[in-house]
Every structure is written in structure tokens, then in C-alpha cells.
Amino acid sequence: MSETNNRTVESYNAHIQEYIDGTPHEVSGVVKDWLDGSLTDVPKDARILEFGSAFGRDAEYFAGLGYAVECTDATPAFVDLLQQKGLDAKVLNTITDKLPQGLDFVLANAVLLHFTRDEASDEASQVIKKVFDALNINGKFAFTLKQGEGEGWSEEKLGAPRFFCYWTEPQIREVLESAGFGDVEISGDRATANATWLQRVAKKN
């Protein structure tokens, strides 16, 4: 795991309450539309794995729709919280750990944006390829990224440093196609005060 990812996880682990306080607790609007759309044709008994489950908002939304979600997070404090809420959760670092195989759906909402994309340490491409390999045929990978160029650190929301890597549409498609993904669904992008979020669903054909 890179130093950038280490520092980011440490910041989350020390400031989970700040993250919870600064994050919407309800799934609504274009986020709801994206999640609902991503579940089209996904059966209720599908095996679903979530990266970066945080305090469990999206997993609980999926549960309300009749889906069971295997929650994971690289931040131990979040996993403790998820388990206290009765959710199936474990610590998983998607960069260094092996992924379970035979998945039907992988959700990574606001996760890949913390991974490097440079030639020396292309964590994002490595993780996306691992997801592709872990999915069954017709499996889906739903994820979000921040639109833009370059990378950098921000203390917004947590008051502690987090690494962010920004993406353009051609960069996303290149990495997905290189991993083996074919169809890519583009949902309505989400604009916030400080960023435009790219909401995507890739399918393994």
C-alpha cells in the first residue's frame, strides 16, 4: 500500500465522526437514481461486495431493497461501527488484499478517487482489474469518481489530509477497457459545491 493510501486511511480512522457528520445520511436524488439503475436485472440473491462502506448508508439502502451486502472498509474504526450496527463487515484493503471470487456486483462509492494513477504506482488500474477478475459474467461494477485533472491533498470535511486523484471520461474508459470491461453505463453526474461526481456502472460481458 502506498504512503498516500496509508495516510488517507489513518485520517479516516482518526476522524470517523467528522466524516459521518459531514456526509448525507439519506440516499436521495441522483445518487438514488444511480444506485437504483445499477441494480437493474440484479437478482435479490446476488453476491454483492461493497468497498469503503464507511458508516453503512449505501449497504442499508440496498438491504431495504432486499439485497444482502458484504461490507468492507480499509478503516478499522468504520468496520467496528458497521459490526456494531449488525452489518456483515470486515477490514479489506482493496489494493493489497485478495478479493473474494464469484461476485455479481461490486459497489465502490467514493473509493477509487483515493488511489494513485501514475505509472510508478497505478493503484486504480490494479484494483479495477481485480474487480473484473472477481466478477461473474454479467457482473456489475458501480463506482463514482471526482471529475477533473491531476491529484492532490485536501483537509476538507475531516480536518485531516486525504489524497484525491481526479478523472476525465477518456481516462475512465481507457482503464475500464484495459481491465476487460465492455459496457459502461453513464448515470446523471452529480454536482456539489466543490466537485462534479462521475457516476458509472461497468458490466463484465
Condensed to tens digits (0 to 9), the pLDDT of residues 65-124 reads 999 999 999 999 999 999 999 999 999 999 999 999 999 999 999 999 999 988 667 999
142: Cβ–Cβ under 8 A, 6 or more apart, which residues? 34, 35, 38, 105, 106, 107, 108, 109, 200, 201
Instruction: Name the nearest CA neighbour of 75 among 125, 153, 157, 8.
Output: 8
User: What average pLDDT score do residues 187-204 get?
Assistant: 85
Asked if 201 and 37 count as a contact pair (C-beta separation under 8 A), the reply is yes
Distance of CA 188 to the CA centre of its chain: 17
Q: What are 47's three cell numbers?
A: 453476491
Residue 159 has pLDDT above 90, yes or no: yes
Distance separating alpha carbons of residues 54 and 3, to the nearest angstrom? 21
What pLDDT does residue 182 have? 84
Residue 192 has pLDDT above 80, yes or no: no
User: What range defines the domain where residue 42 resides?
Assistant: 3-203
| CATH assignment of the domain containing 32 | 3.40.50.150
Q: How many residues belong to the chain?
A: 205
The tally of domains found in the chain comes to 1
Q: What are 4's three cell numbers?
A: 498516500
At 113-155, the pLDDT tens digits run 999 988 667 999 999 999 999 999 999 999 999 999 999 999 9
Q: How far is CA 143 from CA 3, 10, 95, in A?
A: 23, 22, 16
User: The pTM is what?
Assistant: 0.95
Residue 196 has pLDDT above 70, yes or no: yes
Instruction: Calculate the average pLDDT of the chain.
Output: 94
Distance separating alpha carbons of residues 73 and 79, to the nearest angstrom? 6
User: Any idea which of 56-60, 73-77, 165-169 has the lowest mean pLDDT?
Assistant: 165-169
